[in-house]
Structure 1
């Protein structure tokens, strides 16, 4: 029954559901945070790195996932909302915890859009806040 949820999500984005794609989508959604390629490799130890990478590339091109450059040198990935088309208007703020190295999507905080000078075209915004997540801040006290 639960697998049908992931199949529905994939087919709504015109992605052919395969076992690997369902596994990757399920792992990403269950993480409740952004995940790196290495995170997914560790979560899905029976799936090879190239299959995960190809799946992420497909998810990005189909606007099922977005990538985040949080400054750690490793891209993070998160599943997009149902109506997201990864336009500038769909972008949101991200938070990177400097202690546990997890990056979170803060979907309730829109990314500030700046006015661009004449001749410039804005395609993407990367807005990352850094500090301590609630779990790490709790252990600081």
Structure 2
């Protein structure tokens, strides 16, 4: 069994040919991608099958959804602690206003938020907007 199939099985995902191809593509990315970007980058991919694959990956804790304020949902690989029971990779996401890329910053954790009595947090996301390292260097 190849490493990609093993990674899928580790998350209880049946390793179909399409899932292996999508996983391979996602692992090679340095920034989060929208479904449209995935579709364009993968050439000749059935949109419905791609959407179902990403949804399966998300449900099993292999990828996480990012709402970066651009109006387009993006997806990135999860940390190993995520699973079918939930996503546990509470890190900051960085949206570059110049190149429009969204990056996970897994070493920068979201600080714990103290909520008033009776409140229940279901999801936490923190987006920092500015210039990524590449764009910042290009401007200076």
Please say whether Structure 1 and Structure 2 have the same fold, judged by a TM-score greater than 0.5: yes
Normalising by structure 1, we get a TM-score of 0.92
Contact 2:78 2:89 in 1 (8 A): no
Among 64, 67, 83, the alignment partner of 1:66 is: 64
User: What is the RMSD computed on CA atoms of the aligned residues?
Assistant: 1.4
What runs of 5+ residues in structure 2 fail to find an aligned partner?
A: none
| Residue 80 (1) aligns with residue 70 (2) | no
Displacement, 1:139?
Answer: 1.1
Normalising by structure 2, we get a TM-score of 0.93
Describe the SS at the equivalent of 2:111: coil
| Residue 8 (1) aligns with residue 13 (2) | no
The corresponding residue for 2:102 is 103
The corresponding residue for 1:26 is 24
Residues 76-108 of structure 1: per-residue CA shift (max 9 Å, x gap): 101112222444x53100000001110000000
What runs of 5+ residues in structure 1 fail to find an aligned partner?
A: none
User: Matched residues in 2 for 1:22 and 1:14: separation?
Assistant: 13
Describe the SS at the equivalent of 1:67: strand
Contact 2:79 2:89 in 1 (8 A): no
Divergent runs of 4+, >6 A: none
Residues 53-91 of structure 1: per-residue CA shift (max 9 Å, x gap): 11111111111111000001111101112222444x531
**Greater percentage in helix:** 1
